[in-house]
């Protein structure tokens, strides 16, 4: 089971330098503190006894996302939702964009961005 909440990177940015220097005490304390709050909220609202039933717990933050994906700000959905998405075909010949940063976040939009990029590439290839 996973409990997720979107997080503003500005909150985690202050831990960034220490995090990447393997100095994670303050970061870990904050991460666990926030996880406890989330668990308590879910327990109170939805799943009585949740805390007692947890055997293994992994906690991820935007810094975790940066470590694994290199996405700026640990973004999981690409650009801010209110920003216009980019076209897969760019003005630069031979450069196509895929990923959540091209077509919007989530598995399906990211996969569709890949499909769009390949479609453009194949069409352009035909007209060479
Ligand atoms: C905890 C979590 C839960 C999520 N749950 C859902 C969900 O339930 N449903 C959903 O639709 N979406 C979910 N998402 C969002 C979804 O995972 C992303 O929107 C989607 O994976 C973005 O795909 P992408 O190809 O753009 O980037 P990514 O999946 O981030 O892939 C980018 C890849 O490039 C690699 N990379 C980065 N820099 C380099 C480099 N210099 N050289 C080589 N490789 C590099 C990274 O290691 C990574 O493997 C979730 C995200 C997170 C973090």
Could you report the per-residue pLDDT of 88-102, keeping only the tens digit for each? 999 999 999 999 988
Res. 79: pLDDT tops 90: no
Spatial contact of 35 and 57, defined as CB atoms under 8 Å apart: yes
pLDDT at 86: 83
* Measured CA distances, 26 to 10, 35, 42, 58 (Å): 16, 14, 25, 17
Could you tell me how many residues make up the chain? 128
Spatial contact of 120 and 89, defined as CB atoms under 8 Å apart: yes
- Share above pLDDT 70 across residues of the chain, in percent, rounded to a whole number: 99
- Ligand 1 centre to CA of 126 (Å) is 31
Determine the distance from the C-alpha atom of residue 37 to the mean position of all C-alpha atoms in its chain, rounded to a whole number: 21
CB of 70 within 6 A of ligand 1: the answer is: yes
User: In this predicted structure, which of 9-23, 40-54, 57-71, 98-112 has the lowest mean pLDDT?
Assistant: 98-112
Res. 103: pLDDT tops 90: no
- Ligand 1 centre to CA of 74 (Å) is 10
Res. 13: pLDDT tops 80: yes
Q: Which atom of ligand 1 has the smallest separation from the CA of 77? A: 19
Higher pLDDT, 4 or 32: 32
pLDDT at 63: 97
Spatial contact of 97 and 117, defined as CB atoms under 8 Å apart: yes
> Does pTM surpass 0.75?
yes
Res. 83: pLDDT tops 80: no
Question: Where do the domains of the chain lie?
Answer: 9-74, 77-128
Res. 47: pLDDT tops 90: yes
pLDDT at 78: 87
């Amino acid at each position: 089971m996973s409990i997720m909440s979107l997080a503003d990177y500005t909150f985690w940015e202050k831990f960034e330098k220490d995090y990447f220097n393997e100095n994670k005490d303050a970061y870990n304390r904050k991460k666990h503190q926030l996880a406890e709050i989330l668990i308590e909220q879910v327990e109170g609202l939805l799943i009585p006894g949740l805390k007692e039933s947890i055997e293994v717990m992994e906690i991820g933050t935007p810094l975790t996302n940066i470590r694994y994906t290199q996405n700026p700000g640990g973004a999981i959905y690409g650009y801010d939702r209110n920003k216009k998405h980019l076209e897969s075909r760019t003005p630069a010949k031979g450069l196509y964009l895929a990923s959540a940063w091209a077509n919007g976040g989530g598995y399906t939009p990211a996969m569709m961005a890949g499909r769009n990029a390949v479609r453009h590439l194949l069409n352009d290839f035909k007209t060479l």
